[in-house]
Chain A
């Protein structure tokens, strides 16, 4: 076996649960009417948004894996995670699954702190990272209250990256191929609503694969789009922070 895998670290979800355990614990939810959003958006453009229906999420992580193969993310980098939490006392038990992507905040704290302007709010609502400009300072990782960002240390699943890991793939409007020191290695990475797919008229990979059909994606500027309709009565994570997420949640409303 000529190729061997690198040392394995404890799965990132575990560590994210650390950061996000907090988030999950203190989710402050607020009903969000679609009208509010419309006022904020640039009506000339498409403004993308995602709605995740927690009543339909079964915690399967098909989204996590679909995203991994779409964006060829290395070990420990997951643009999408599903936070699972079992609570209560037998037999009154409650289990929740919370998929977390980048919220594509309309007031993104991550953008503000970037010293080189590598991370930007695009007109279509997506918060992007320019891997070539990113200097890897990771300020944005600290600034993001959702733990949506991670740093690509250049690790691969195998010491000698396997055929798939080493093959060209697309993110944003560029083609990348993993190789020593080449972007996106040494850059910060995160979910970008699969902007390269969306540009081609496709849905994000996680939405396409979702096993529970719990995820909806589209143009929030179009009041008739499925996602706009679904977004009615939705809520957002940590809405008290004023980040104005473009990722909305339905269902599982419980008083924390």
Chain B
């Protein structure tokens, strides 16, 4: 007999009465309790928070029914998911906010039975890719005792720098920095340098800001190189603002070796040879100057190095670029003219070019198109976005004097997240400046997300003691000595700020108590600092009377928002937005934060000890090129369904995409005698893996490509043994300017198996 639950036998009116209260109450950061419906004995609460299925930080409203997270919906009070400028915010808000499929699948991450629930201790001293750690559950006290013992060794030997941390970016970032300072290690590192450090460096070099974003909604021409904002969605408003721009009449042009999801919506798509974006952008600039279509006034008043740039561009003709990038001279010319004459326009590039060895210059060449036509901080142009800053940390301690292990200082535009590739190369080759003994790895699966998997594993094995703090057991935790259960974003506090064009800060808060009574990642570091009795500048034990919530409260009060955490909880949607609206042409009022205080065509000669070919954004071939033995470029990208290597065990997302394929142009495949769906060997000079071919007419015939994040062997059941990881095929290749990991610089061949 099929019947609905007896206790839930209710009239619809009853149910509606029970929930109507929620509908009318203004959603604020505090949990709104609806009157529980008597018949149902059913309590429904709506709590605003911010997503962290990826680093995007999209606004979320969680519905909690009788203590179970039952629903996630977008939060239209939060700019992330609505709009990046205040001027279009209200207009966009009418259509509601948006949330991507990863964020919406957060409930299945929360209730994943594969989660780590208790601290785990390794009992098998042998470590290796497929070696079972033989975990034993231990208590939190035991876990802390063991970790404290290992760290005290470093303190007693006066080698605090032998501790290194690796972490997801936007998770307990400043707490980890404070912890590093208190402990005395400079080796606090984060994910950015295996992600988008090149773009940040390029935008710093050209504009003096680290994450500018176009005002797409008001643009007339959107020219995007190697970025797929309609699928590699980070901030959930990206698709809206681009599509709104399109419906406002803007043209969308995509430069990409593959016909991406964004190309699918574009007016024009130019398949380009990987790593040649810079040449195309330079030739466009050549045409714009030649045709006198540049903004002379803007250039005179606000830029540095135009004359040298102009001189350099003299022979960078469309004909020159055509031979390099595969886009015809005629097309380059018309692109340049269209870009310059359809104002305001935006030219942007992200990690397509960015994860290749000439990325810094390529991205600068692209960004300089905006400067040439003066479409900088104009409505519809490239906006000088700056992230809201929280106030100072209450922990008073200065950074240690010791040099970093990863040699970040050697990279002229090194990112303060560190240089993972150099860390692991030196660990593996045992030629670092000193010895590292202990690593904390927080919500990062380094084994799968770093280039050169096998040597990363060997590098990790050289560490004496590894603590992994994660929601799941995976390829990296398999090499750990202790695993600490992490929290999902629905279980922890945080203050979320992202780059939009007016200031905002949003609350991330536990919508339910952590399922296993675990510490959040930030609280874990705080507790550790307390147990180690680490002292601040004044000799007091740090954090002795500060909980994480207090820490956030103080930093919020010290920020421009100048409100308390409780006040933020009360604010609609748990969001504070600045009463000042988006300002254009901020450079007229404030100092441009580049070295020359101008937008820079060229770096100043005194600049940062940089080699000469980086003074101007010169085109140079990327280092690793196809040859007879390895004739194909291998590119990789992020698909909307997954975040890096951490969401593949989510059953919802796994149903959407449970493996990656090796995409190949059918012409290429046919000429080699391969069939659609065939399992092939993929070989590079550094490794071999198996992949399933999938024909895609949208692939450049000289290029093979695939999605990231697959190929797990030690993650949960939904994720395991599906697809492959490109990082098995590359080496420790690092960008010499920024320290960026060069995931996209791989050449391979395929063979029958």
Contacts and interface: CB of A to CB of B under 8 A. Distances in A.
A37 interface: no
Given A90-B698, A93-B697, A177-B5, A61 B10 contact: no
Interface stretch (B106-114, B168-176, B363-371): B106-114
A62 interface: yes
Nearest to B271: A91
B16 interface: yes
A2 B113 contact: yes
A168 B105 contact: no
Most A C-beta atoms less than 10 A away, residue of B12, B42, B72, B655:
B655
A43 interface: no
Contacts of A86: 259, 696-698
A186 B101 CA distance: 28
Interface string A164-195: 11011110011111000111111100000000
A1 B263 CA distance: 43
A218 to B, nearest CB: 13
Interface stretch (B236-244, B291-299, B738-746): B236-244
A68 B101 CA distance: 11
B519 interface: no
B233 A56 contact: no
Interface in B684-728: 696-701, 717-718
Contacts of B66: 167-168
Interface residues of B, number: 75
A231 to B, nearest CB: 17
Nearest to A135: B2
Contact of B231 (A60, A174, A208): A60
B641 A61 contact: yes
A209 B104 contact: yes
B233 A211 contact: yes
Contacts of B5: 168, 175-177, 182
A254 interface: no
Do most interface residues of chain A lie in helix, strand or loop, or is the interface mixed? loop
Contacts of A90: 271, 665, 667, 697-701
Interface string A203-226: 101001111110000000000000
Interface in A127-162: 131-132, 157-158, 160, 162
B95 to A, nearest CB: 5
A131 B10 CA distance: 16
B87 interface: no
A70 B105 contact: no
A38 B217 CA distance: 35
A178 to B, nearest CB: 10
A201 interface: yes
Given A62-B104, A65-B104, A211 B236 contact: yes
Interface string B351-375: 0000000000000000000000000
B42 A168 contact: yes
B640 interface: yes
5 contacts: A12-B655, A66-B104, A69-B104, A183-B3, A200-B16
Given A164-B110, A209-B104, 13 more contacts: A8-B654, A12-B655, A56-B243, A58-B230, A58-B239, A60-B239, A61-B640, A75-B651, A86-B697, A157-B108, A158-B113, A175-B10, A183-B4
